[in-house]
């Protein structure tokens, strides 16, 4: 499934950037329907990126033109149309040592 053209990826966010701050900044380009900053599940700290959904593809394009490369909370942000999430292969925790202490003899 393709991502809608009004959903934007926002990268290089400051850890201090809030969803309200992102909404305010992007409202310069039009109606902001949704804002989500992605956080680390264990710490709750921002991973430095998020998504903004604008009301229309035209407003999304205007937001890219206005905001890409601009400073927000001390960081130069990256803004582009969000790509669909790639499917991940496999079903479990990554490799690593799976022994039960010690080594094989």
Residues 34/51, Cβ–Cβ less than 8 Å: yes
Collapsed DSSP state (helix, strand, coil) of residue 21: helix
- What's the pLDDT at 2? 46
pLDDT in tens, the chain (105 residues): 345 899 999 999 999 999 999 999 999 999 999 999 999 999 999 999 999 999 999 999 999 999 999 999 999 999 999 988 777 676 555 554 444 444 454
CATH class assigned to 7-81: alpha beta
Q: Quote the pLDDT of residue 84.
A: 84
pLDDT at residue 103, as a whole number: 47
Q: Can you give the residue ranges of every domain in the chain?
A: 7-81
Strand, helix or coil for residue 12: coil
51-to-13, 18, 35, 63, 100 alpha-carbon distances in Å? 11, 12, 6, 12, 42
What global pTM score does this model have?
Answer: 0.78
């Amino acid at each position: 499934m393709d991502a809608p053209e009004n959903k934007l990826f926002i990268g290089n966010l400051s850890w201090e950037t809030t969803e309200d701050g992102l909404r305010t900044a992007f409202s310069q380009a039009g109606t902001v329907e949704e804002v989500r900053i992605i956080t680390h599940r264990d710490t709750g700290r921002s991973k430095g990126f998020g998504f903004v959904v604008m009301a229309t593809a035209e407003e999304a394009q205007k937001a890219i033109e206005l905001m890409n490369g601009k400073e927000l909370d001390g960081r130069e942000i990256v803004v582009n149309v969000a790509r669909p999430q790639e499917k991940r292969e496999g079903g479990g925790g990554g490799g690593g040592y799976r022994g039960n202490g010690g080594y094989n003899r």
